Structure formats: structure tokens, C-alpha cells
Structure 1
Amino acid sequence: LQEGILFHHQLQEEGDAYITQQQLGFDSRERLEAFITGLNQLIVRHDILRTAVLWENLNEPVQVVYRYAELALEWLNVDGASSQSVAEQLNAEVDPEHHRLNVRRAPMLRAVAAYDAEQNRWLLQLPSHHLVMDHTTLEL
């Protein structure tokens, strides 16, 4: 199954059908940052979240579990003049039809945040690759 997912990842030039988006809302920046800190603690404890897939100059692809991997928090520059809401701009930033995750790098996740002043909330878009996380995992 993972070889098939990797095949499709390599086949697609734009976007990636195996990226799952998850948008979360927080009532403060501190809680959002605490969530990222907690997620990074989880990454330390779980090999799959520190896994990358390498294939260049190899006979076959290999999964590499790094001793250390950290999820960096990225901030979206919100366009206040846009007709799109902050949530829509955030979704567009990680839209799997146009954006990819680098599976050669662990963790196979991104964390992109923005402040939604209109709704007075902090939003986090957490796209993940199916090689490390699926719908069941996210639901749990």
C-alpha cells in the first residue's frame, strides 16, 4: 500500500491526492503554540512521525526514521483585501490539489497558522501525508 502511495506521489507533478487537511481553531495564540509544542512531544515518542521516505540514488525506496524531527509553525500572511475569509486563505495555502508535502523530510506534516480577526480566533491548518496519518488516526 505504501509503495502505491509513493508511486502516485511521484507521478503527480502538482498537488498530492494523499494529503489530508485538518483545520483547528483556538481561542488564543498561546493555546495554538501549546498545541504545536504538544504535537512535537508526540513526534518525539512516535517513530512514524519521524519517518521520511528516500529513493534518489537507491535501488528501492526506504523509510528512514530520524532520531529527531520537529514540526515548525508557519504563519500565513493574511490578505485583508481579499474576498476570501482567513479560513479560506488558509485552506488555499495547503490545498492538496496544488500543494505537496515533502515526503523526504520528517515529519510529513505542515502547521500553517493565521489570526482571524473577524472571528477573533487563531486558526491552524495541519495537512498530513497518508504515509503517516489517515482519517482513522485523525478521528482518534
Structure 2
Amino acid sequence: MIPALDDRTLLPPGVWDCTLVEVQDQFCWNAHRQHLWRLFLRFLAVEIVPMHLGCPLYIDGSFTRAKVLPDDIDVVVDLAGIDDVRALSLGLALRLRHDAIKTAYHVDVWARHPMLPHDFAAYFQYAGDKCAAELNLQPRDPKGILRVMRP
């Protein structure tokens, strides 16, 4: 279940398990957000589902805030539980196509795996520079992130 946004207009700190329907119900409240969501669902159908990864996705960014016109939807593909080398290679290759994916779907995609130097699911649990500047916060202020277990 997705909690209400806090007084900072952010998700409360923590990882919030949810479904795609719950994300849509809570965050697609204007035409622009609905358009981004349709592009995100197309990204899932074209890029993620055919890989048969079955891994969690973390959804974050200004889309999960009260921002009226978010630029995109930030997604972390959690490959940590993938043992199959072929499947892992497919998932990691998403990063190589980052710019093309962002242009086509307005999805800012990242990968999470112990072999990679940064844990983006953890990193995105902080406000960050852009959000902090927009909301008059500190970049390291904690915030929440959504996790969809098997899209």
C-alpha cells in the first residue's frame, strides 16, 4: 500500500511495496502524468516483460511527488536476485540503452546489482540535489521509494 505524501510532498521514508494499479491510482491525477504512465507501461511491455526477469522495480523521482509536470519516471531494475547469466546480461544492457529508452518512453532507467558500484535503490531514498533545491530541503534528507515486486 502506498502511503499519503508527507508535508514535504514526498513519500515518507521507507520502501513501499505496491502494485502498478496502486501507483496509477495515486499518481496519475492529470493528463501529463497519465501520458507518462502510458509510456512507462509501454516500456514495461516492450523492454522488461520480454526478458522474463521477474525482478522487482523501484519507482521514484518527481513522478512520486506532488510535482504537477514531472519530466519522467525514474526506475531501478533490481537484478540482485538474478543468477542466470543471460538474463542478467539483458537486464544490465538496459543501462547501455539509457538515452534511447529515456527518449522513447520518458523513463530514466537504472540497474541494481551487487556487481555494480552504486545501489540506486538506496541512493534514490534521499531527496537529492534537484528535489532538495525545488523543495528547500537538504540533499541527504530521507524519503520513500516504491517497489513493485513483479510487474
Question: Which TM-score applies when normalising by structure 2?
Answer: 0.25
The structure in which a higher percent of residues are helix is 2
